[in-house]
């Protein structure tokens, strides 16, 4: 399955963004830990030690910045997936790739492996580096090993899911920009659709407050949203199992779709025209819901059914016309 030639081709194609992934982990883990534990004056060091003793906050809350690390890594792995698939389609390098003496399955799996290797390798190396930095600092006694068993593994699983999903979206889209935009949109889709749907229900049934808005449903749709997993919001109880399922489901599904990709559809919004109506129907419905929300909110958000339907119809019609225009265009640059 592994081919050095394919690996080197993908590496040369995406080496800058691939090396950016471990660089980001180094900046937000090893380097940041070093600056906050070894580059302190005596007064600041004494003050921090007293704070840790009093339990004002933990060492890892002081040293780590997981929000920026997660956001930067997620953006990097999405761009890596776009470079490996979307950019290939746009500049016709995809034609050359498919002419190589390798199966499409082998080509796709290699793309996944190279991104996953840089991601996981960067996380493992820099986690060990951060541990070594803290262990050799005056704060060594406050080092919590369980933090790394939880946080590092969670970040690795979430980012692997984001990368896998971004590659999968690339098998459906005909270009780099479309792949990036749809990856971001569908990363937000479960929780976004959940709130749009609840608002629509509230407009139609104002006497049924809280329909479908229990904590269990909110936790479920939040856990299904990669964007929520990336930022690790503490307001909801996120489960790691949907993230694992993302990788388990979308890796083989992406491989299967990549095998059946038709090169002649490169540059189009979607690679599979026959199933485009499903995508169109979903987009139009979601924008209709969003239009209804905006129009009702413009009317002071008093759950006015008339305003809601004006926005619903307007949003649906506008999105249909725009999407129809985009679906008929081919965005492609030839060398």
Q: Is 285's pLDDT higher than 50? A: yes
H or E segment at 143? none
> Do 155 and 32 belong to one domain?
yes
Q: Is 329's pLDDT higher than 90? A: no
Which of 247, 271, 295 terminates a domain? The answer is: 271
> Do 206 and 307 belong to one domain?
no
Which of 271, 290, 320 terminates a domain? The answer is: 271
> Do 130 and 141 belong to one domain?
yes
Could you tell me what percent of the chain has a pLDDT over 70? 93
DSSP-derived secondary structure letter, 335: -
Structural domains of the chain, count:
2
> Do 251 and 292 belong to one domain?
no
> Do 106 and 212 belong to one domain?
yes
Pair 139, 52: CB distance under 8 Å: yes
Average pLDDT, the chain: 89
Q: Is 61's pLDDT higher than 90? A: no
Residue-range definition of the domain harbouring residue 313: 272-335
Which of 25-29, 77-81, 204-208 bottoms out in mean pLDDT, i.e. has the lowest? 204-208
The pLDDT value recorded for residue 64 is: 83
- The tens digit of pLDDT for each residue in 247-278 reads 999 999 999 999 998 777 777 888 888 888 89
> Do 262 and 289 belong to one domain?
no
The pLDDT value recorded for residue 335 is: 44
The pLDDT value recorded for residue 334 is: 47
The pLDDT value recorded for residue 44 is: 92
Q: What are phi and psi of 329, to 5 degrees?
A: -95, 155
Which of 36-40, 198-202, 265-269, 323-327 bottoms out in mean pLDDT, i.e. has the lowest? 265-269
Which of 48-52, 96-100, 223-227, 310-314 bottoms out in mean pLDDT, i.e. has the lowest? 96-100
> Do 134 and 215 belong to one domain?
yes
pTM of the model: 0.92
> Do 193 and 139 belong to one domain?
yes
Q: What is the mean pLDDT of residues 3-11?
A: 90
> Do 163 and 244 belong to one domain?
yes
212 pLDDT tier (thresholds 50, 70, 90)? low
Q: What is the mean pLDDT of residues 185-189?
A: 95
Q: How far apart are CA 312 and CA 67, in angstroms?
A: 35
Q: Is 213's pLDDT higher than 80? A: no
């Amino acid at each position: 399955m592994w081919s050095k030639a394919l690996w080197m081709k993908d590496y040369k194609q995406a080496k800058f963004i691939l090396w950016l992934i471990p660089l980001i982990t180094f900046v937000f883990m090893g380097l940041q830990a070093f600056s906050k534990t070894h580059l302190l004056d005596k007064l600041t060091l004494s003050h921090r030690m007293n704070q840790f003793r009093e339990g004002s906050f933990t060492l890892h809350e002081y040293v780590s910045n997981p929000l920026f690390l997660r956001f930067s890594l997620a953006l990097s792995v999405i761009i890596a997936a776009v470079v490996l698939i979307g950019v290939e389609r746009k500049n016709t390098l995809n034609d050359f790739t498919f002419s190589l003496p390798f199966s499409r399955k082998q080509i796709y799996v290699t793309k996944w492996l190279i991104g996953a290797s840089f991601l996981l390798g960067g996380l493992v190396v820099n986690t060990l580096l951060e541990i070594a930095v803290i262990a050799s600092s005056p704060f060594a006694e406050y080092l919590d090993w369980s933090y790394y068993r939880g946080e590092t593994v969670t970040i690795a699983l979430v980012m692997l899911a984001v990368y896998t999903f971004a590659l999968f979206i690339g098998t459906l889209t005909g270009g780099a920009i479309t792949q990036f935009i749809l990856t971001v949109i569908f990363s937000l889709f479960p929780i976004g659709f959940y709130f749009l749907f609840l608002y629509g229900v509230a407009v139609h049934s104002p006497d049924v407050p809280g329909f479908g808005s229990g904590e269990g449903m909110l936790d479920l749709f939040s856990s299904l949203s990669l964007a929520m997993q990336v930022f690790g919001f503490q307001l909801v109880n996120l489960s790691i199992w949907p993230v694992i399922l993302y990788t388990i489901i979308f890796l083989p599904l992406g491989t299967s779709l990549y095998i059946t990709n038709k090169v002649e559809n490169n540059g189009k919004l979607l690679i599979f025209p026959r199933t485009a109506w499903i995508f169109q129907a979903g987009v139009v419905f979601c924008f209709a819901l969003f239009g209804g929300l905006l129009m009702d909110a413009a009317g002071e958000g008093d759950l006015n059914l008339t305003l809601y339907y004006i926005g619903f119809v307007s949003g649906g019609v506008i999105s249909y016309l725009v999407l129809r225009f985009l679906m008929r265009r081919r965005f492609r640059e030839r060398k």
